[in-house]
Chains A and B, each alone.
Chain A
Amino acid sequence: MMKDTAEKMKLVTHFIAGYPSLEASFDTAKGLIDGGAYALEMQMPFSDPSADGPVIESACRKALEAGFRVGEGFKLIERIKAYADVPLYVMSYSALVFNMVVQGFADRALAAGAAGLIIPDLTPGTDEGLYEAGRRAGIDVVPVVVPGVSDERLSEIMAEKPDWVYLALRSGITGSYTELDAENLGFLDRLKKYDAKIMAGFGICTPEQIETLKPHCDAAIAGSFIVNRLSEASTEKGGSGIMHAAKDAVEYLLGE
Chain B
Amino acid sequence: MDKYNNFFGDFGGRYVPEVLRAPLIELENAYKDAVEDPDFLAELAEFQHTFIGRPTPLLHAVNASTELGGADIYIKLEGLANTGAHKINNAAGQALLAKRMGKKRIIAETGAGQHGVATASACAKLGLECVIYMGTEDIRRQRPNVYWMELFGAEVRGVESGSRTLKDAVNEAFRDWTASYRDTHYLLGSALGPSPFPDMVREFQSVIGNEVSEQFAASEAEQIDAMVACVGGGSNAIGFFSPYIEAGAPRLIGVEAGGRGEGRGNNAVRMDDTGRPGIVQGYKSCFLLDEDGQVLPTHSISAGLDYPGIGPQLAELGRSGRLEFQSATDDEALEALKFFARTEGIIFAMESAHAGAAAIGLAKELGKGRNIVVNMSGRGDKDIFISAAALDGANWKDFLQEEAGRIR
B-binding residues in A (CB < 8 A): 46-51, 53-54, 57-58, 61, 64, 69-71, 94-96, 98-100, 120-123, 126, 128, 143-146, 148-150, 153, 157, 168, 170-173
Contact = CB atoms under 8 A, between A and B. Distances in A.
B16 A173 contact: no
Which of the listed residues A143, A144, A173 has the most CB atoms from chain B within 10 Å of its own CB? A173
Contact residues on B (Cβ < 8 Å of other chain), bracket: 20 to 34
Contact of B19 (A100, A128, A168): A168
Contact of A61 (B161, B170, B179): B161
A-B pairs, top 4 by smallest CB distance, nearest first, are A99-B293, A172-B179, A50-B171, A120-B17
A50 B293 contact: no
B15 A94 contact: yes
Given A51-B174, A120-B17, A123-B18, 16 more contacts: A47-B294, A47-B295, A48-B168, A50-B174, A51-B17, A61-B162, A95-B279, A95-B280, A95-B294, A98-B278, A98-B279, A123-B17, A126-B14, A144-B17, A153-B22, A173-B178
Contact of B167 (A48, A98, A171): A48
Interface string B2-26: 0000000000011111110110000
A89 B227 CA distance: 50
A10 B276 CA distance: 41
Contacts of B282: 121
B281 interface: yes
Contacts of A100: 293
A251 B258 CA distance: 54
A123 B178 contact: no
26 contacts: A46-B293, A48-B162, A48-B281, A50-B174, A51-B17, A51-B175, A53-B175, A57-B161, A58-B161, A61-B162, A95-B289, A95-B293, A95-B294, A96-B293, A98-B279, A98-B293, A123-B16, A123-B17, A126-B13, A126-B15, A143-B18, A146-B19, A149-B22, A150-B22, A153-B21, A171-B19
A96 B279 CA distance: 9
B340 interface: no
A6 to B, nearest CB: 34
Contacts of B204: none
Contacts of A121: 15-17, 279, 282
A172 B178 contact: yes
Nearest to A92: B293
B292 interface: yes
Contact of A171 (B162, B178, B280, B284): B178
Interface string B270-295: 00000001111110100001001111
Given A99-B278, A121-B15, A171 B175 contact: no
Nearest to A64: B294
A144 B18 CA distance: 7
Given A58-B161, A120-B18, A146-B18, A128 B279 contact: yes
Interface string B21-41: 110000000000000000000
Contacts, number: 98
Nearest to A54: B161
Contacts of B17: 51, 120-121, 123, 144
B181 interface: yes
Nearest to A73: B292
A144 B20 CA distance: 12
B65 to A, nearest CB: 43
Interface of B: 13-19, 21-22, 161-162, 167-168, 170-171, 174-175, 178-179, 181, 277-282, 284, 289, 292-295
B171 A48 contact: yes
A27 B56 CA distance: 63
Nearest to B25: A153
A171 B181 contact: yes
Nearest to B181: A171
Contact of A50 (B13, B22, B175, B179): B175
Given A120-B18, A121-B15, A149-B18, A51 B294 contact: no
B181 A48 contact: no
A99 B18 contact: no
A120 B282 CA distance: 11
A95 B295 contact: yes
Contacts of A46: 293-294
Contacts of A153: 21-22
Contact of A47 (B15, B19, B162, B181): B162
Contacts of A64: 294
A99 B284 CA distance: 11
A156 B5 CA distance: 23
A99 to B, nearest CB: 3
Contact of A94 (B178, B181, B279): B279
B18 A69 contact: no
